Structure 1
Amino acid sequence: MIDIVIEARQAALAPGMNVRRILPFRLRRMVGPFIFMDHAGPVNIQPQTVSSMDVLPHPHIGLSTVSYLFGGLVTHRDSLGVEQVIRPGEVNWMTAGKGIAHSERFEDPAALAGGSLEMIQTWVALPEKDEESDPMFENYKEKQLPVFTETGIWMRLIAGNAYGLVNGVKTHSPLFYLHVILDKDKRFGLPKEHSERGIYIAKGSIEISGKYYTAGQMIVFTKGVDPVIIAKEPTTLMLLGGEPLGERYIWWNFVSSRKERIEQAKAEWKEGRIILPPNDNTEFIPLPEDKSKPSGGPAPQLLS
């Protein structure tokens, strides 16, 4: 029934910005097309040190970054000239394709008051035919993302399709991604539309077949099972998965079906051939001094 349980690992991205890293994991690289997942926050930091949390301009290829907030505000800027503040309940979907650079900055100290900043970052690998597509960015407002409620259950479809819900978020392969909140003792089941399915417990705890799982764990299920999930307390889940795309290599912020393409991306960034955001181009993150070759395993990475 359960293929693997992944324990989130702690990672520090900047002073005051610690994350729980879930994917990739050495024994499970991907769930459907999802190849990366970080859970940041809640963040407690003094207003005078907010700028230290900023994620400076950095590059991506071969993937879509998906940003979703539980609380706070983040300002996105990218090579296309987009400047977009993302708010809780919205989705920032950036498709890197053949190459893009972007930054994420925390420019409103009030948005961090009381540890309110909390966000989930995922990367979705692209099918081979789309890996060299033109980069794109879209912000989807809260009202564009359908919500389903019944007694003890609230859920928002972030992208894809599940439980009969669909929305207009542009994806490149079959997938699902949901934010789910369950009341204590509520029973819940997985969507059946997709072959690879996982649950990340953001808050609370659940029971499956008599075993207990708690916040910071991801449970990945075997194909075709129909487990009963019982919330042991008020619980927040992120459900994700879809159809597998095949092997992908990952190094730093680069994802590709070809090792040589990652080597090319390294050179492009080092030589300045991936354009910086025009409204955030005075600083950037240099290519890590890492002599390793791209592989299917975890490598130096950043919050996207």
Structure 2
Amino acid sequence: MELINEDIQIISAPSILGLKPTGVEALGDSLLASGLYETLKTQNTVIRLETLNTQYSEKREPRSNLLNALAIKNFSMSLDEVVVNSIDKNNFPFVLGGDCSILIGITSALKAKGNYGLIFLDAHADFYEPEKSITGEVADMDLAIVTGRGPGILTNIHNLQPYIKDENVVHVGQRDWEETRKYGSQDIRETPIKCFSLAEIKRKGINTTTEEILQHINKAEVEGFWIHFDTDVLSDEINPAVDYRLPDGLRFEQVEYLIRSLLKTERMIGISVTIFNPRLDKTGNVSKNITESLGKAFNLETR
């Protein structure tokens, strides 16, 4: 779709059901307070979803072996409806989390609309099986779930499994190889998912990497792509405000360049932003920097 800023529909979806109630629920309010609405120059009123965060439990559900699977399903169905309505109005959904489990509602909405792909920016593979996750948090395995791996309560909402096919996923920025090996996660590299690890990006440079991503998605037989921006893909030095920190990461200008290049293709259908924890941002500078960076990526005048 040809994106103009007025088409952007900000959706606040501050669910923490897939992680823990330690602060990511304030992501949307923090970025909006830092001027995100004004920076994006949208004309649409922010939509705020009612959360089910009061249902959060630290106990795994016996059938799914996950935390809060039923509540996540119910929240996902609410988010699904809002995303579908936004797309039906020819708007560009800009979803603010919360944790990565919001991707379940987003991708089930996309599957209801047609055949879509996913650009997944994340420091983690998010590809655990429930029994291999030491936490039971759905944020450990959201990419596995949206590609059809895991308990049916989350992988098969509205009988639409899988929401995204492996061959239509591009994973960008992974740097948790050591952890995934230690805990026995499924290896994302053994699937048709196209992977560009942090090490590969550093070796090739962001320009070459972006060109390869664009070449790959141009061949994909889909109606469009969703961008998922987990802010822990950023360098730990510039964004330490996440619950599960890892050394190293991408710079703001690299993420801006990639997102801006993706938007230029006019094949992007929406974006989600997750995992930034304002409680860990003591000065407020991280929130301001993320907001400024997103503004640069979406600055259509300079694209």
Structure whose CA Rg is larger? 1
Higher strand share: 1
Higher helix share: 2
* Same topology, TM > 0.5: no
| TM-score of the superposed pair, with normalisation by structure 2 | 0.32
| TM-score of the superposed pair, with normalisation by structure 1 | 0.32
